[in-house]
Amino acid sequence: MYISRRGFIKLTGMGLASLGLSGLGFNLRPVRAYAAGLKIEGSKEILSICGFCSCGCNIIMSVRDGRMVSSEGDPDYPVSEGTLCSKGAAFLSMHNNEHRLQRPKYRAPGSDKWEEKDWDFVLERIARRVKDNRDQDFLLKNGVGQQVNRVETIFQLGSSQMDNEECAVSHQMLRGLGVVYIDHQARV
Ligand code: SF4
């Protein structure tokens, strides 16, 4: 039977602790009662992969009633051996966070107020602005007559909350539009 390092530590730790303490006459009932109150009690462990960079660290998610209640590194993952960088360590709070915006916010030109809008409004607005801007400023040739096919008046700044695949898709889309100014704020 294959037992992972994590599984082995759990099994031996639980077994030795129970044998040792109960053998010495300790009453383990309060310990069990405490364990029952742990935040991962009754949850199911699901092994996932952090998508924020190509290290692809394993993350163990504890899920209860369809909601993630804990996330931690995987000691069996050979690259990081259970450690996570700040982005991976914040995995849980990225999913469950009352400060996280749930709906798009829009500030009209000249306004000092943010308004809550639905996605249809915002996506239509972004598409319209990108199209108009590109139609107006698309450059076929540069100043010395070389073919460039680019638009210099749109800039895209990525986010460290975008995973590898999202970055790849957005990059392909922007290159297809002729956007050349592209950067990413992740500096880990
Ligand atoms: S972002 Fe951090 S935790 Fe995620 S895969 Fe990369 S190194 Fe690992």
Per domain, the residue ranges of the chain are: 1-37, 39-100, 138-184
CATH 3.40.50.300 is right for the domain spanning 39-100: no
| Ligand 1 pocket member 56 (CB < 6 A) | yes
Q: 57: buried, middle or exposed (CB in 10 Å: 19+, 13-18, 0-12)?
A: buried
Angle at 88 between CA 67 and CA 13, to 5 degrees: 75
pLDDT per position as a tens digit, 146-163: 999 999 999 998 877 777
| Ligand 1 pocket member 91 (CB < 6 A) | no
pLDDT at 111: 97
| Ligand 1 pocket member 87 (CB < 6 A) | yes
Residue tagged 């992969």 (tokens): 49
| Ligand 1 pocket member 88 (CB < 6 A) | yes
Task: Please give the single-letter amino acid code of residue 175.
Answer: R
pLDDT at 137: 97
Quote the ligand 1 centre to 173 CA distance (angstroms). Answer: 25
The lowest-confidence range among 3-7, 72-76, 80-84, 106-110 is 3-7
Kindly tell me if the per-residue pLDDT of 142 is higher than 90.
yes
Q: What is the pTM of this model?
A: 0.59
List, in order, residues 6 or more apart from 35 with CB less than 8 Å away. 41
**Token duo for residue 172:** 């392909």
